Structure formats: C-alpha cells, structure tokens
C-alpha cells in the first residue's frame, strides 16, 4: 500500500495465456425481457472450430519482455527450463534488481522453482490468491488479443498464429505498459476497500 512508483518500476509481471485461433471482437448488448431469442440479439458461433496456443511472457517498466510459445501444459520441469532460457533477457531489459512476480499456479510454486529463484538470487514476491485485479499482465493479454483480431484469420496454421503473436507482442508500446503500472496503487486501494466491505457485510 505504501509503495511508490519507483518500487513498482522494479516489478516484472509474468504469466501464461491461451491464445485461440478463432479470436473475435466481443460484442455486448442490453436486451429487454422479451428479446432473449430475438434474431438481431443473437450472434452465431461455432465452438468446435480452431485451436489454441499457450504462451508465456512478462512485462515491466521498460515494456514487454521475452515471450515464449509453450508446447503442451506448463509443468515444473518446463517452467524451470523456461526461466533458465529467459533469465538473461530479463536482466538485460529490466536490470539486476528486478522483482519477479508470477501467480500461484502449481508450476510457479513448485519446490524446484523456489530453489532456482533462491540459487539465482532472483528477488520475488508472493502473489495474493485469486487476485487478477492486481496483475497488470491480464490487461496486456487483452491488448494482445485485440491486436490479433486485426489479422485476416489463421486458418489451420499454427505457424501463422505463432508469427502473429510474436509480431503483435513486440508492437505493444512501453507507454501502454507504464500506464498500467501507474495504476497499481489505485488497484491496491480498491482491493483493500473491497475486502473491508466484504468483512463488514459478514460481521
């Protein structure tokens, strides 16, 4: 709660994300009670087409960091290999004194990962359970998917989707990331207030 922007500048947010080949722009509408099944209020969709690719990436004050395409799910072993692969890139981009933040998924909190962080003198912070509001990379994933919508489809080509992911990721501006980081104090205050409100309701 008492951190300044200089503290938040040191944080590197990291996470994984599924990117679908059938990304579409979300359309929201408000329907009246009797309009539930009205034709103009329904958008057709096909849930059985397309595929998805899992990516891992990180962001910080100096912009987007390395991004990696994952083959299969993120296991402890794969995450360990990934961290070894991106470590020098992260140091080069964000400096030696960065603070690493990943969420509480089992691979991130495995004993071998905690050991690796300590052995490599990686400063890291615990992440609050069920707190996506405190992780700015969630907003970055949304921005990435908005950019992918602009491409003219991916067909059945995973390679094309991979190329578009890399291109779109690198096009996300540093100013956009910094704007998100500057909201962290506000996010913390809002989450704290929400917790207090919930506690008050319980009591």
- 125-152, pLDDT tens digit by residue? 887 776 777 889 999 999 999 999 888 7
Ramachandran quadrant class, 112 (left: phi over 0; alpha: psi -120 to 50; beta: rest): alpha
Half-sphere CA count of 199, side-chain side, radius 13 A:
6
The residue count of the chain comes to: 203
Please report, for residues 31, 150, 157, 168, 176, the alpha-carbon distance to residue 153 in angstroms, rounded to integers and kept in the order given.
Answer: 30, 8, 9, 14, 25
How far is residue 16's CA from residue 82's CA, in Å, rounded to a whole number?
12
* pLDDT at residue 52 is higher than 90: no
Distance from CA of residue 48 to its chain's centroid? 25
Residues 6+ apart with CB under 8 A from 185: 1, 3, 5, 8
pLDDT for the residue 72:
83
pLDDT for the residue 128:
75
Position 48 confidence tier, pLDDT thresholds 50, 70, 90:
very low
Across the chain, mean pLDDT equals: 87
pTM equals 0.81
First to last CA, the chain: 24
pLDDT for the residue 146:
92
How crowded is residue 31: how many other Cβ atoms within 10 Å of its Cβ? 12
Q: Domain limits of the chain?
A: 8-20+48-202
What average pLDDT score do residues 110-135 get? Answer: 88
How far is residue 86's CA from residue 12's CA, in Å, rounded to a whole number?
12
User: DSSP assignment, residue 183?
Assistant: T
- What are 18-43's pLDDT values in tens digits? 988 765 555 566 777 777 777 777 76
* pLDDT at residue 14 is higher than 90: yes
Between 3.30.420.10, 1.20.1090.10, 3.40.50.300, 3.40.50.11890, what CATH number should domain 8-20+48-202 receive? 3.30.420.10
What one-character-per-residue DSSP string does 12-75 give? EEEEEEEEETT----------GGGTT-GGG-----TTS--EEEEEEEEETTEEEEEEEESSS--
């Amino acid at each position: 709660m008492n951190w300044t922007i200089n503290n938040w500048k040191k944080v590197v947010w990291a996470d994984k994300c599924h990117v679908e080949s059938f990304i579409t722009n979300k359309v929201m509408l408000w329907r009246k009670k009797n309009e539930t099944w009205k034709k103009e209020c329904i958008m057709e969709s096909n849930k059985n087409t397309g595929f998805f690719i899992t990516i891992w990436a990180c962001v910080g004050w100096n912009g987007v960091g390395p991004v990696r395409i994952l083959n299969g799910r993120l296991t402890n072993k794969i995450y360990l290999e990934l961290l070894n692969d991106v470590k020098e890139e992260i140091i080069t981009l964000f400096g030696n004194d960065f603070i690493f933040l990943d969420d509480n998924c089992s691979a991130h909190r495995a004993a071998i990962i905690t050991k690796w962080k300590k052995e490599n003198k990686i400063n890291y912070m615990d992440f609050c359970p069920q707190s996506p509001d405190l992780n700015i990379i969630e907003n970055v994933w949304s921005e990435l998917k908005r950019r992918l919508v602009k491409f003219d489809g991916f067909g059945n080509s995973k390679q094309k989707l991979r190329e578009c992911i890399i291109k779109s990721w690198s096009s996300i501006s540093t100013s956009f990331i910094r704007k998100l980081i500057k909201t962290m104090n506000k996010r913390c205050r809002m989450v704290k207030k929400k917790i207090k409100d919930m506690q008050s309701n319980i009591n």
